[in-house]
Structure 1
Amino acid sequence: MTALAARTGRIAPLTGLWNTGWATRAALVILLGVAILAVAGPALAPQDPLAQNPAAALQEPSLTHLLGTDYLGRDVLSRLFAGAPASLLSAVSAALIGLVLGAVPGALSVFVPRAAEWLSLRAVDALLALPFILFAIVFAALLGNGLVQATLAIGILVAPGFFRIARAATLRVRDSQYIDAAGYLGASAWWILSRHVWRHVAPTLVVASVSALGGALLAVASLTFLGIGVQPPAPTWGGMLSSDLGYLGQRPWGPVAPALAIILTVGALNLVADAARDGLAHV
């Protein structure tokens, strides 16, 4: 098998997801809608998401307000659309930060001296032991309570997972003959990674990134639920869920929209990640 055929065989499971079943197709359609909201959510909002109308507070769903109104009379559908970019793009950013901070050191750790390898593994174990919420709160207290700080905190805590995945994938190809030959010829660790290792590790990291994106979205929603990151009145899915729970008695349908948006998005990401992972397992 040629190198091109090998690369095509590795990537095919990632590009042929549409043919893996109806559940994956539904997940891809959901993610397409979510991507549109992430880019154009505020423009698609039918009303001003910040406009308050106390006289229309806590209204049930109607033709004027398809998902009802919140405790300040703001249109819930408009806030759901307008809150999508902050919730989704921060999750994407956190996953990318974790990928960069984790995957590169994880792959390099296979080729460094034993002492450096041991130190890197202990550092990863220490990060994995950190309580997520406590770390995010301390991080926000030190660097400021903003979306950038919250995103960075999530990215740091996502990185150890990428470290382990990249390290395990690199270990599987480290003892290949062509890598041994490159080492005997004096090639550096970075040269070996860039020329020989990344093409084998990349599909696994893509699948891990999709899965991590779902976890990052849950983390973002958790932090905004607690008031860390985006501050009111700016809408976020986690912030909407937090405020709606305070009026559960008067408006029991209130938390449904933001909770369903989070659940559907995370579920779709997990379905796509599982389908891609199953495809890679048969390559």
Structure 2
Amino acid sequence: MRTLRRTWRLPTAKTALAVLAVIALLAVAGDALAPHDPLGQHPDDMLQGPSGAHLLGTDYLGRDVLSRVLAGTRLSVVGALEAVGSALVLGVIPGVASVWLGRTVEWSAQRAADTLMVMPFTVFAIAVVGALGNGMHQAMLALGVLFAPLYFRVTRAAALGLKQAQYVEAAELMGASRRWILRTHIWGKILPTVAVTTAQAVGQALLVVASLTFLGLGVQPPAPTWGGMLASDLGFLAQQPWAPLIPGAAIMITVGALNLLADAVRDSAGAPLDSLAPASTTPAPPPQEGAPTTPPRVPEAPEPTGVPLPVTPSPKEADHRVTTG
């Protein structure tokens, strides 16, 4: 809760949350807000520019572009959230377990994470879709498996640092169970790191989902998605060179808001609450006339240490000593 309060006080976090709230509203009620049927084809209105009837024009089948962008928000965002949710389960739990359940679990989890990290997203997704069928859930499950090593490494690094903390070691010496230690001392401090990773992962997953739908994987036409709209618009750049900018702008705005939110959570996770408050710009009042002023402090001379300083004899004393000797 403290991290949430700190994050909310940042202007960038408020801007990002406002944008994401609009995206969430479109994901829930995009079909109802669409002015036209996103699947309705009108051959007489193909490749029309923006007008009063179609604010963003029509595509190569006469479908309203604005309606398809609004309706495509749900599938694009839900697909990214499904992939990140599966990655969260597959990565966080093994990451914490590898720290607390012994060397065998640690070695096995690390080798599995290393294996998944070297696999390319697109090739692995194509292989899974080819084996399990071309569907949204199959593609998102494959994407979640490939995102799991990211959560595993982040969670494991945070848990390793907390396990060596003095208060955790003291709780173990006093006989506290692992479950109590994880619930009391570990989860609350890992959650900010997981939140930052989730915000970044949703943005990356959204880009990958758009790439997969661009290739025809996951969501089948004519269902509207941002990536599918990009793929269909590329074939008609001569007639509408501005058409890919509309779904591309939707992807860019959503990913940018997620990155801003991730940066805000990261900045507020370790900063004190007072440091995030805006600094006061009111100048200090001038000193009143006749008020006593404090004189500048003069540095004091160093106190003697009791060790005599070497004295250099004058030339006459040196000649006298030589003559006397």
Do the two structures share a fold, i.e. TM-score over 0.5?
yes
Match of 1:67 in 2: 56
Segments ≥4 residues shifted beyond 6 Å: none
Q: Does 1:81 align with 2:60?
A: no
Distance 1:188 1:117 in 2: 20
Q: Tell me by how many angstroms 1:143 deviates.
A: 0.7
Q: Corresponding residue for 1:154?
A: 143
Gaps in structure 2 of 5+ consecutive residues: 273-325
Amino acid at match of 1:180: E
Q: Percent identity?
A: 54
Moved more, 180-189 or 242-251: 180-189
Partner-residue secondary structure (3-state), 1:83? helix
Larger Rg: 2
Asked whether 1:15 is paired with 2:5, we answer: yes
Structure with greater proportional helix content: 1
Which residue type is aligned with residue 132 of structure 1? F
Q: Distance in 1 between matches of 2:193 and 2:103?
A: 25
- 1:166 corresponds to which residue? 155
Corresponding residue number in structure 1 for 2:210:
221
Q: Any idea what the Cα deviations from partners look like across 1:32-89, whole Å, max 9, x if unmatched?
A: 1101011111111110000001110111111111111000000000001111111101
Q: Which residue of the other structure, out of 31, 34, 54, is the alignment partner of 1:42?
A: 31
The correspondence of residues 131-210 of structure 1 with structure 2, limited to 5 A, is: 131-184=120-173, 187-210=176-199
Give distance in 2, aligned partners of 1:15 and 1:66.
40
Q: Please tell me whether residue 237 in structure 1 is matched to residue 226 in structure 2.
A: yes
CA shift, 1:175, in A, is: 1.5
Instruction: Give the match's secondary structure for 1:158.
Output: helix
AA matched with 1:83: G
Contact 1:69–1:75 (CA under 8 A) maintained in structure 2: yes
Q: Contact between 1:14 and 1:203, CA under 8 Å: does it hold in 2?
A: no
Runs of at least 5 residues in structure 1 that lack an aligned partner in the other structure: 1-10
State the match for 2:115 in structure 1.
126
Compute the displacement of 1:162 (Å). Answer: 0.6
For the residue of structure 2 that corresponds to 1:110, the secondary structure is helix
- CA distance in structure 2 between the aligned counterparts of 1:151 and 1:49, rounded to whole angstroms: 24
Aligned residues: CA RMSD: 1.5
**Which residue in 2 is equivalent to 1:6?**
none
Highest relative contact order (Cα 8 Å, sep 6+), 1 or 2?
1
CA offsets 1:105-135 (integer angstroms, 9 cap, x no match): 1011111222321221111011110011000
- Conserved in 1, the CA contact under 8 Å of 2:192 and 2:266? no
1:191 positional shift: 4.1
TM-score, normalization by structure 2: 0.80
User: By how many angstroms is 1:166 displaced?
Assistant: 0.7
In the alignment, is the contact (CA less than 8 A) between 1:67 and 1:77 conserved in 2? Answer: yes
The CA deviation at 1:16 is 3.7
The answer to whether the 8 Å contact 1:108/1:189 transfers is: no
Q: Name the count of aligned residue pairs.
A: 272
User: C-alpha distance in 2, partners of 1:151/1:187?
Assistant: 39
